[in-house]
A and B are shown apart, each in its own frame.
Chain A
Amino acid sequence: MTVRAVRIAVLVLALAASGARAAEGPRAVVQRMTDAALEVLRNKEMSSDDKRNRLEQIASAETDFDTISRLVLARNWSTFSPAQQTEFVRLFKDHLSLTYGRNIENYHNERVELTGDHEEPRGDWTVNTKILRGGGAQDILVDYRLRKEGDAWRIIDFIIERVSLVANFRSQFQDLVSQGGPQKVLDVLREKNARGEPLEKK
């Protein structure tokens, strides 16, 4: 290829990337989501409730709760009836929103750094980030695993300090299913969500 042809190709690619959000790669998705979340967290005018709602929207837009639900239930997924599956996805999403949403009270102007990304063996991507809290052991490592669905990259796991949320919840749900089947899982989720509803006040 001539130098000129390369230049044109680069230009076309750059235009395509800037134009359509569909062309956004996994790293860009995480970057955009993190930036949006930090902007909300830093906003001094917003109430805690507004912040929580806004953060939930930001995270939900990029997260594939259907896939996460299937992965956390693994083999148990098929023992849930279609109605139970639908309810599970809703309850589990609420549970994650509630428990992680509460953490906004712990935010003290930390910054987030994207430290890397790489492709996994079967096409998923992992994006590594670090919540900066003074260096060394104080920083928190958060990795996102994304999978391409149609045109968009969506998050299918959060790995916090090397502990995968999917793996961890799978083990918990496995224990709950063996104690009392799908009904037990739904009961525990419902009960936890009902208790977790109020915003945590300082």
Chain B
Amino acid sequence: MFWFNDHVDTYVLAPVATGWSKVAPTRVRTSVSNFFTNLRFPIVTANDLLQWKPKAAGVDVARFGVNTTVGVLGFFDPASGWGLERHDEDFGQTLAVWGVPSGPYLVIPLLGPSDVRDAGGLIVDEALAVTPWFVDSYILVGAGVLDAVNTRSLVLNEVREAKRSSLDYYSFVRNAYFQRRRALIADTAAPGVEQQQELYYIPEDATPEPEQK
């Protein structure tokens, strides 16, 4: 499935996104991205509350208010400049906060890397998104395609570099996915103490070679 997605990306999504990046300047694409981010407000806020982060929920409500009005329907993000920092929450993270383990790694057709817990979370988030309740389905599909193409167009360099710098691209993506999710769940960049121990200190018996000086 991973390589199916990679083929779709290489032969369909990436070329379209490259075309879009030539037509639309970065400023426009950032605005489109802001617009879709703003629409995620119900999902983010609901998950703030489900993780008992009332302060974050308050900030996200204020963000939506500011960016929808001053930010012209969410195309601009003045809220970030005013100290209302953006949060990235979803139901997969909420489940993790509640103690649900990630389960095995999973690659979802067209959607990409995930795990069993986060895939379940996506279904709940879909229900939490308010937009689908009153927007026609063909508009939703069109918007979904635009969102995907636009998002991809903002990371053209990054993905190309990731493919070049990785020695095993599948393994690279899987590990980056888990690291990133772990950091998002903890809302911090720092790995936990146990993880640090495991990552940065190798037991002496595992390295029989004497130190070279």
Q: How far is the CA of A59 from the CA of B202 in the complex (A)?
A: 24
Instruction: Give the interface segment out of B13-21, B107-115, B135-143, B172-180.
Output: B172-180
Q: How many residues of A contact B (CB 8 A)?
A: 53
Least Cβ–Cβ distance between A72 and chain B, in angstroms: 10
> Is A137 interfacial (CB-CB < 8 Å)?
yes
B200 contacts A145, C-beta separation under 8 Å? yes
Q: How far is the CA of A139 from the CA of B189 in the complex (A)?
A: 15
A161 contacts B180, C-beta separation under 8 Å? yes
Q: How far is the CA of A95 from the CA of B77 in the complex (A)?
A: 38
Residue of A103, A137, A157 near B86 (CB, 8 A) is A137
Instruction: Give the interface segment out of B4-12, B54-62, B94-102, B190-198.
Output: B190-198
> Is B131 interfacial (CB-CB < 8 Å)?
no
> Is A156 interfacial (CB-CB < 8 Å)?
yes
Give chain A's interface secondary structure class: helix
Q: How many residues of B contact A (CB 8 A)?
A: 39
Q: In the assembled complex, which residues on chain A have CB atoms less than 8 Å from the CB atom of B80?
A: 135-136
Give chain B's interface secondary structure class: helix
- Residue on B nearest A105 in the bound complex, by CB: B157
- Residue on A nearest B177 in the bound complex, by CB: A163
Residue of B77, B164, B165, B209 near A136 (CB, 8 A) is B77
Least Cβ–Cβ distance between B170 and chain A, in angstroms: 8
A-B contact pairs, 16 of them (CB 8 A): A75-B202, A78-B208, A85-B209, A95-B165, A99-B165, A120-B190, A122-B196, A126-B190, A157-B199, A157-B200, A162-B179, A163-B180, A164-B191, A166-B199, A172-B168, A196-B164
